[in-house]
């Protein structure tokens, strides 16, 4: 039985439902994926150290936002607490690595498990409510995190100074160059993104969509609404936890001030601008807006004193305008724009 779609003069067509559901249905899409992976592998060889570190940091954000996409885009639950979950992951990994002296893979798994547990616990009350109220709980989580971390025992969690994370060792070799970190973070990001695509395409993903569209209708068709929402919370928290752990290793510190409400808002912005509907939107939005941010950050020193004072807050203005413009002009985001443009290119020169 052929699994791939079938070529016809007018393009590739699926002749069974299984084929139609495949994520990589055509040879073209598979080729693009291979090219993308090759480009990602080759990137640190050509990029400078600063750009390699930038790519690693972006990959960390990509993991967080992709997790947020499952919760917000697929399951329809607003969350403004994603950076708090990331912070919990960062602290968990830092705690495991310093206080317990656990090796890197164990510390990351510990961060993932502990954030998932907290995410599920948090999802329990949150699952009963929606919209307005849900945004409230996630905001409160953000504040509870910021206010609690510096007041926990400094011996264990570093108090106001945060927890410094030692340079990770992997099979005895210490991480030294930005390329080492890139080699750790980007493959994990690729796997996490692939997993998110799988989740969205799975039965669970379709149940989440049902919950998003109409909770009552979903429950009538046999979807366990509360359970589905809690799982979505757990997934988003788990992604944030892994991202937080990797981010802590990358920056060498877990500090509560790295995980503010504004960061959560930025993650939400990345997702909205990219397109909430799909994983590719989450990735696209994060990469695009991280590039915009980096460009503005690099521009600032060129302008000197006053210019820089105005420019940094203007990053917020630019992001705010982008979010609003996306909502007004094309609520499906960059992902949809890219899709439409590439479809137009394919059809060229016919209409």
Partner 1 sequence: MTVLAQTLVDGLVTAAIFAAIGVAFNVVYRSGRVFNIAQGELLLLATFSSLVLLDTGLSPWLVFPIVLVLMSVVGLAVERFVLRRLIGRSEMSLFVSTLGVLLVLNGLVVAFLGGEPRLFPNVLGAGRLDIGGVRIDQAGLIGTLLVVAAVLAVAAFFSRTRTGLAMTAVAEDHQVARSLGINVSRSMAISWVIAGALSVVAVIAYMGGRTVAPDISAIALVALPVVLLAGVETVAGVLLAAAIVGVGQAVAARWLDPLTSGGASVLFPFVLMLVILVVRPQGLFGWKRVARL
When binding is defined by CB under 8 A, the residue of 47, 106, 109, 136 that contacts partner 1 is 136
The span of 54-62, 88-96, 238-246, 263-271 binding partner 1 (CB under 8 A) equals 263-271
Q: Which residues, including other chains, have CB under 8 Å from residue 80's CB and lie 6 or more apart?
A: 135, 138, 139, 142, 261, 264, 265, 268
**Does residue 69 bind partner 1 (CB under 8 A)?**
no
Site for partner 1 in 10-39 (CB under 8 A): none
Q: How many residues bind partner 1 (CB under 8 A)?
A: 48
**Does residue 126 bind partner 1 (CB under 8 A)?**
yes
| Residue 198 C-beta: closest distance to partner 1, Å | 25
**Does residue 305 bind partner 1 (CB under 8 A)?**
no
The span of 100-108, 163-171, 251-259, 262-270 binding partner 1 (CB under 8 A) equals 262-270
- Interface pattern 70-109 for partner 1 (x via CB under 8 A): --x---x-x-x-----------------------------
When binding is defined by CB under 8 A, the residue of 39, 156, 303, 327 that contacts partner 1 is 327
The span of 11-19, 51-59, 200-208, 323-331 binding partner 1 (CB under 8 A) equals 323-331
- Interface pattern 200-219 for partner 1 (x via CB under 8 A): --------------xxxx--
| Residue 129 C-beta: closest distance to partner 1, Å | 5
Site residues (CB under 8 A) for partner 1? Answer: 72, 76, 78, 80, 125-126, 128-129, 131-133, 135-137, 139-140, 143-144, 147-148, 151, 214-217, 220, 261, 265, 268-269, 272, 309-310, 313-324, 327-328, 331
């Amino acid at each position: 039985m052929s699994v791939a779609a079938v070529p016809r003069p007018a393009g590739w067509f699926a002749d069974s439902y299984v084929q139609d559901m495949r994520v990589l249905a055509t040879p073209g899409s598979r080729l693009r994926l291979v090219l993308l992976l090759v480009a990602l592998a080759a990137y640190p060889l050509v990029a400078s150290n600063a750009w390699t570190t930038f790519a690693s940091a972006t990959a960390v954000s990509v993991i967080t936002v992709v997790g947020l996409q499952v919760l917000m885009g697929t399951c329809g639950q607003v969350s403004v607490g994603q950076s708090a979950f990331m912070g919990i992951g960062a602290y968990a990994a830092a705690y495991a690595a310093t206080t317990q002296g656990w090796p890197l893979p164990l510390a990351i798994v510990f961060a993932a498990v502990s954030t998932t547990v907290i995410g599920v616990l948090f999802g329990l009350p949150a699952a009963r409510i929606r919209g307005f109220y849900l945004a409230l709980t996630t905001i409160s989580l953000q504040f509870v995190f910021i206010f609690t971390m510096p007041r926990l025992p400094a011996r264990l969690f570093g108090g106001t100074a945060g927890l410094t994370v030692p340079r990770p060792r992997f099979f005895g070799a210490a991480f030294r160059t930005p390329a080492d970190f890139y080699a750790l973070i980007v493959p994990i990001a690729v796997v996490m993104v692939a997993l998110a695509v799988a989740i969205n395409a799975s039965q669970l993903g379709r149940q989440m969509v049902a919950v998003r569209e109409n909770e009552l209708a979903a429950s009538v068709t046999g979807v366990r609404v509360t359970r589905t929402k809690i799982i979505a919370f757990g997934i988003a928290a788990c992604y944030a936890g892994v991202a937080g752990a990797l981010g802590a290793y990358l920056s060498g510190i877990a500090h509560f001030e790295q995980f503010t409400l504004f960061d959560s808002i930025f993650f939400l912005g990345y997702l909205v601008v990219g397109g909430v509907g799909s994983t590719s939107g989450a990735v696209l939005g994060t990469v695009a807006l991280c590039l915009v941010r980096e460009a503005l950050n690099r521009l600032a020193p060129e302008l000197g004193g006053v210019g820089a004072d105005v420019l940094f807050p203007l990053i917020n203005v630019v992001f705010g305008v982008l979010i609003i413009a996306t909502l007004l002009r094309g609520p499906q985001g960059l992902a949809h724009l890219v899709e439409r443009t590439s479809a137009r290119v394919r059809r060229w020169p016919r209409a």
